[in-house]
Amino acid sequence: MILGVVALMAFVTAVGIAISSPRLDVIRQLEPNRITVGETAEVNLRLRNASRWRPITAGAIDVCGSQRISVPLAQLRPGQETTATYDVPGHKRGVFDTGPLTVARRDLFGLASSGGRYGHTERLWVHPRLRRLRRTPDGLARSLEGATDKIEQGSLTFHALREYVIGDELRHVHWRTSARIGQLMVKEHIDTSLPTIVIALDNRPQAWDFASFEAACEAAYSVLVASFRAEYHVSFATACHKHIGGIGAADYGDALAQVEPDAETRQADFISRVQTHFSGDTLVWICGAKEDLPAAQLARLRRKYPELVAVRIGKGLSASATVTSGIPVVQAATGEDFATAWDRGGNA
């Protein structure tokens, strides 16, 4: 009889657990939400039991990509708050969602469980590892070709009109447009003496193995950032159309966090698109070593790009910076070796 009563009570408790879910408020903060490979972000959780009378005796699991992190929630009384913090190391390049928090409650006898997902997700962008380069692409090309490492001086030229902000010089106000629309507008200029760098990453799968493509993303990001530090104008292209665009280093870092060696196009079509849809003073062509360098096709781009540098990344390549078939070529097996060869260009 007693065993029957205990069994009945256990059953009723299990049913109660199964049909109810914890009431939990979760506030999530991710700082920073953009890191490079090798850096660490921090997730901060603030948890509150929103139930009026029921404590939470549950286990909670938070996720970040493939990582699963245990979050303590034991004996969280009604209205009580707690916090949890954990680090998310940027082991590999990519885009990862942190959260939502998953809570599972079980009855004391293990007969039933209930739970749910709580809180929003935060997206973590892991950019490629950054190598700080001493040379800019135009300087490397000129150095390898034996020319003077010097930028020809140009001038400021009109670029666009924008709204006036405090600190703008009144001599740049475009009075006719300002009078017409009833708002101060100023002329924005760009410095045409600064070169435009086009970085083209050949992300067709037949050219790469996994490790080499990761090193190529490091190379592309490092050249991009070096160009931005020099305040050059920068464009970025891949063999597919998904990851082109951006106005700053972080935008291109996001693009490189997403790019994969999956472009379904021919090499000749990619070269043609770089020739047709992009323009600049210097082209940096980044390709894999599983294919021969398309030297003849790239040489024809010289009509549009006065300076051209080819970067080949692949297993077994020794770090070097040479001129092949009239084209400056930097070769390396890893991102670190690439940075060494790039900075040593012309002195290898």
Question: What pLDDT was estimated at residue 196?
Answer: 87
Question: What pLDDT was estimated at residue 232?
Answer: 87
What is the rounded distance in angstroms from the CA atom of residue 51 to the CA atom of residue 103? 15
Tell me whether residue 145 is in a domain.
yes
Tell me whether residue 10 is in a domain.
no
Distances (CA, A) of 75 to 56, 80, 84, 182, 319: 6, 10, 15, 62, 58
Q: 180 and 273: one domain?
A: no
Question: Do residues 130 and 36 touch, judged by C-beta distance below 8 A?
Answer: yes
Q: What is the mean pLDDT of residues 58-84?
A: 83
Q: 223 and 332: one domain?
A: yes
pTM here is 0.77
* Total domains in the fold of the chain: 3
What is the rounded distance in angstroms from the CA atom of residue 126 to the CA atom of residue 217? 12
Ramachandran angles phi, psi of 152, nearest 5°: -70, 140
Q: What is the CATH number of the domain that holds 64?
A: 2.60.40.10
Please tell me the least confidently modeled range out of 29-43, 140-154, 195-209. 140-154
Q: 61 and 108: one domain?
A: yes
**pLDDT tens-digit profile of 166-178?**
656 777 788 888 8
Top mean pLDDT of 22-36, 84-98, 156-170, 211-225 is at: 211-225
Q: What is the CATH number of the domain that holds 251?
A: 3.40.50.410
Mean pLDDT for all residues in the chain = 81
Tell me whether residue 330 is in a domain.
yes
Tell me whether residue 12 is in a domain.
no
Q: 54 and 199: one domain?
A: no
Q: 265 and 314: one domain?
A: yes
Parent domain of 48? 21-127
Tell me whether residue 2 is in a domain.
no
Question: What pLDDT was estimated at residue 211?
Answer: 93
Tell me whether residue 348 is in a domain.
no
Which runs of consecutive H residues, i.e. helices, occur in 20-150? 137-145
Of 263, 306, 304, which Cα lies nearest the Cα of 287? 263
Tell me whether residue 3 is in a domain.
no
What is the rounded distance in angstroms from the CA atom of residue 304 to the CA atom of residue 297? 13
**pLDDT tens-digit profile of 280-291?**
889 999 999 999
DSSP 124: E
Q: 165 and 213: one domain?
A: no
Question: What pLDDT was estimated at residue 109?
Answer: 43
Q: 173 and 276: one domain?
A: no
Q: 62 and 207: one domain?
A: no
Residue 239 predicted with pLDDT over 90: yes
Q: 122 and 183: one domain?
A: no
Tell me whether residue 169 is in a domain.
yes
Question: What pLDDT was estimated at residue 20?
Answer: 52
Q: 252 and 279: one domain?
A: yes
Q: 211 and 292: one domain?
A: yes
Q: 183 and 197: one domain?
A: no
